[in-house]
Each structure stands twice: as C-alpha cells, then as structure tokens.
Amino acid sequence: MKRYTLSFIVLLVAVGIPLLLINPSQKDAMSRDGRITRDILSATITRAIQIAETNYYKPIEDSNEMYRGSVKGALAALNDTYTYYISEREHQRAVENLYNAEYGGLGIQIYPDHRGFIKISKPFPNTPASRAKLQAGDYITKVDGKRIHLSERTGMTLNDVVDILRGKLNTDVTITVQRKFLDPFDVTLTRDRISISSVKSTMLEDDIGYIRITSFIGSRRTDGTEEEFNEALKAHEAADMKALILDLRDNQGGLLNAAYHIADGFIDEGLIVSTKSETNSEFNEEYSATQHLRCPLEIPLIVLVNEYSASASEIVAGAIKDTRRGLLVGQKTYGKGVVQKRFELPDGGAMSLTISTYYTPNGTSINDAGITPQVSIADDEPDDVEAQMLRKAETSDTFRDFITKWIDDHHTRPGEIPKDFSLLEAELPTLQQQLEKERIYVSLKWLTQSVEQVFNLQVGIEQVVDLEYDRQLQEAIRIIKADEVAKHLTPPEDTEPPSTTQADTLVEPNTAAEE
C-alpha cells in the first residue's frame, strides 16, 4: 500500500479510525483497568451501532458513517490537533493538490457570486479553458446538462462543482456558459493536465526580487514549488537582481521535502532541519545542506513572516535565521513544530498522524513557541471595532451587490470586462453611505482594501504585491535600500555561538519517506 508523508498546518476537525489501528497480534491486550480487552472494545463499537440502527427514532441513512465516526473518535482521543481522519474525497484532493501539484481539469479559477451562481474569475494560460476562449465574468450554469447552483435547496457546494469539473485526463466535459450580451452556449472541453501554482514573483524597485511561496507542494523535484521557485529565481537573476525578498506570510505549510529543498537553495553547509520521534527511530532524520545553491550567498535576503506562517514555512524561516543567511522581518510565526504522515486506509480515506518533532539547525523546537523575527513589525490591521464592522460589511448584500452591479454596468462589450479599479474606487463613498444606513460604519481606507480584493477576484486580476498598504514589505524594502541587512545579522561581540548539542542527538538518518 502506497503511503504519503506530509507536514503542514491546516487546522481541520480532528478525526480518525479505531478498528484499523488494532494490531492483530495484540487484539486480546488488556486495557489499563485490567478487565477490558481489545476484542471487547471492538465488539462494543459494533454492538452500539447495531442498537442505534434498530432503535434510533428515525431511519439511519448510512450506518457506515457511524463506523467512520468511531474512527474519528479514536484519533480524537489522542488530543492532537494534527491527527485526524481524512475522507476519500479529501484524500484524493490532497494527492492532487499537495503531492502531485497537478490535476486533470479545464484550467479555470471559479467562485460563487452572492446568489450562489458559479462565475469564472480567470482562465489560466495554455489550458483547455483559454483555448476555448472562456472569459472572466462568464457564468457556468450547467455541467454535462446538470444545473449548477449553490444553495441549501440543491445541497451543492463549491467542492462539488470542482469535483465534476475535474476528472481523468483526456476525458470530455460539456459546460453551458452564460456570457453577457449573448445567449447561453455549450462548450465541450477535453480535460488536460493542469499544474497548481504555489509561487508568485515580481521585480521591485532598485533591482529587488520578490518571491512569494503560498504553500510547499509537489513530491517530485521537477514540478511543484521547487520548479516554480527555481524559474522565478532564474528570471530575477537575468534581470540583474541585487537583493531578494522571500515572502512566507500566510503560508500554512505543505511537504517537508519541498521546504527542505527551498531552504537548501540558500544555505551551503550544515544542518537545515532534523526530526525526532520518541517511539520510532524510522522517523529520526537529518536534512543537511548540499552546497547546491540556487541563490548566491552575496545576495542580501529578507524573509517575511507572520503569525500564519506555519509548519513547512517555519522550517525554511528557522533555517535561514539560525544560519544567519537572511533576515526575518514581520511577526512571530505560528509555532507548529511537529510532522505528520498520511497513511492510506482500506475505505479509500486516510489518516494524518503526528510522527515526530522537528528542530531548527540550532537544535530548537519551535512547537507552540514560533520563531521571532530579528525585525518585528506588525502589519497594518483594523482595530477590533473596525474589523467587526468590516466583517459585517463584507457579508452584506449591499456590499456585494454594489461591486457586482458596478462591474456589470461597466461591462459594455463581450470580452471587455472592466479592470481599472480606480474608476470603482472613486464611487466608494457612495457605498460607504449605503452601509451607514444599515448601521455599518467602515472607514474608507479599509473599505477600499476590501472592495479591491473582491473586485480583483471577480475580474481576474492577480495582485502580487501591495506597495501602498503593506507595511512589512515596505520595511523590508527600506532595510535593503539602506544596506542594513548585514547590520541586523551581525551578533553582538559578547554573544556565544548557539549550541547545536540537541540537534546533534537527532541522528541516525534513515531512508526518507515519500513526502
């Protein structure tokens, strides 16, 4: 049975399977009270479900869900947020999104409008959708003749729509498209291999390269995050990059190996990360630098982090900080210092199980502690009252209708959806007044930022950086332009080198599991 390994932080509901965790050679083992055996406990679960099936006050539609519930309860008993059961559909999606970094599909980004109808935000280049000339603003009203609408009545979710649009390579799917000014029309597309992007990049002023990694994906080194990162770095080097900003903010993790290879591109010697299990030496690993630098050591490096930088992103940030290869700027990271492995289960689902703790090069476990950047600076955020008002605004029909109507009113010809936000921005005082009539009071500054995010999504604009509002990015640029990176990295003269004793105990490397 193929097994998958991954370390990432997505705080899902803790779930799992008890009967599948029983070792047949130990099924008669006694519990702590000395009376209850594993056989008795297994029989107890079966008997409880039988009683419920016979006596519950209304018919039980699927008693298999009760067995899955017992599995979830077994793993939940470990009181570990990161150990849980994954359904077959969720596991398959993880295989596509996380391990393979690709899927069979059409190559479109979709979202539901406030009425539950599915719209195309943008088609990706060189995909079936772009070749069929699908456009931002198109509605998908049917898939293979089945009407598409998200509501309590239909019971359909966005994941359901994704499932029916994705499929095996070289299979056909027919979608019905509603485009403004035109009658509905059908388009038959052949599903192709669609790569999932996890890297965004651009060149900033003063030859400063900027690369943002949103997650660490791809179990093969020739695709996924590592391939995208290398391509972005090569483009920056060709543009005569003088310094680099690596943005790991809001990156909640991904595959350990993918993170290791990114860190290895910056560090030429020593330990990058190590893992240790108290129960299974198979999971005791050391990941050392290979001297295969992707980014030359003379390039000043700043890494942006915040409280949502977690797991695999903390591995990269921790290695760069401990080795003084670069400067961390932002806020203390989340503090997830444990590694999970995915084990496939007989029902097609899987379980995520915490298997080890990881340590930074200095032998530090950051679990529940996080990593404090050398330069701490909070992002610009609304205060509590404003944040509450902003949430109310974003969920109001007035807010959503205003944006949708403006786009529709300025969408005057097929294929020419408006993309100049400044025109909409000029009318936001009117939206602000309409919200105030509903006792929703939001400053124009925060309303503008929120509306721009929704506007960009609906018209297919991808904003890589926000130089106007991003205080942490602004500070990173200032430090580079002032040539202060080295100053922040130089330790005081009376500072002893950090001990690596703890990390040195985390060895006997074994063959790394697939991650």
Full pLDDT tens readout for the chain, 515 residues? 333 333 332 322 222 322 222 233 344 455 555 678 889 999 999 999 999 999 999 999 999 999 999 999 999 999 999 999 999 999 999 999 999 999 999 999 999 988 899 999 999 999 999 999 999 999 999 999 999 999 999 999 999 999 999 999 999 999 999 998 899 999 999 999 999 999 999 999 999 999 999 999 999 888 899 999 999 999 999 999 999 999 999 999 999 999 999 999 999 999 999 999 999 999 999 999 998 899 999 999 999 999 999 999 999 999 999 999 999 999 999 999 999 999 999 999 999 999 999 999 999 999 999 999 999 999 888 999 999 999 999 999 999 999 999 998 998 887 788 999 999 999 999 999 999 999 999 999 999 999 999 999 999 998 999 999 999 999 999 999 999 999 999 876 655 544 333 322 222 222 233 33
User: Do residues 307 and 472 make contact, with C-beta atoms less than 8 angstroms apart?
Assistant: no
Q: Are the beta carbons of 411 and 418 closer than 8 angstroms? A: yes
In whole angstroms, give the CA distance from residue 156 to residue 138. Answer: 19
For 9, residues 6+ apart whose C-beta sits below 8 A from its C-beta are 82, 252, 253, 310, 311, 334, 336
- In the set 138, 247, 264, 322, the catalytic residue is 322
pLDDT of res. 115:
87
76 CB contacts (<8 Å, ≥6 apart)? 14, 15, 16, 84
**What pLDDT score was predicted for residue 34?**
60
**Apex 273 CA angle, 267 and 277, nearest 5:** 170
- Alpha-helical runs (H) found in 349-439: 384-394, 397-410, 421-425, 428-436
Secondary structure (3-state) at 354? strand
Given a contact cutoff of 8 angstroms between Cβ atoms, the answer to whether 474 and 331 are in contact is: no
Active-site annotation holder among 276, 321, 336, 341: 336
Based on the residue annotation, tell me whether 336 is a catalytic residue of this protein.
Answer: yes
Which residue pairs from 428-432 have beta carbons closer than 8 angstroms and sit at least 24 positions apart in sequence?
Answer: 430/402, 431/398, 431/399, 431/402
311: annotated active-site residue: yes
> 213 near 248, Cβ under 8 Å?
yes
Q: Which residue has the tokens 């009658």?
A: 183
Rounded to whole angstroms, how far apart are CA atoms 334 and 320? 17
Judge whether 480 and 206 are in contact, CB under 8 Å.
yes
The distance in angstroms from the start CA to the end CA of the chain is: 15
Q: What pTM did the predictor assign?
A: 0.86
Sole residue written with tokens 């995050």: 225
Q: What is the CA radius of gyration of the chain?
A: 26
CA-to-CA distance for 307 and 372, rounded, in angstroms?
10
- Using alpha carbons, select from 328, 335, 358 the residue that is nearest to residue 259: 358
Q: Which of the residues 201, 311, 313, 450 is marked catalytic? A: 311
Token pair in block for residue 291: 């001297």
CA neighbor of 454 nearest in space, from 411, 416, 401: 401
Q: Is 322 a catalytic residue?
A: yes
- Which pLDDT does position 413 carry in this prediction? 82
Phi, psi angle pair for 456, to nearest 5°: -60, -40
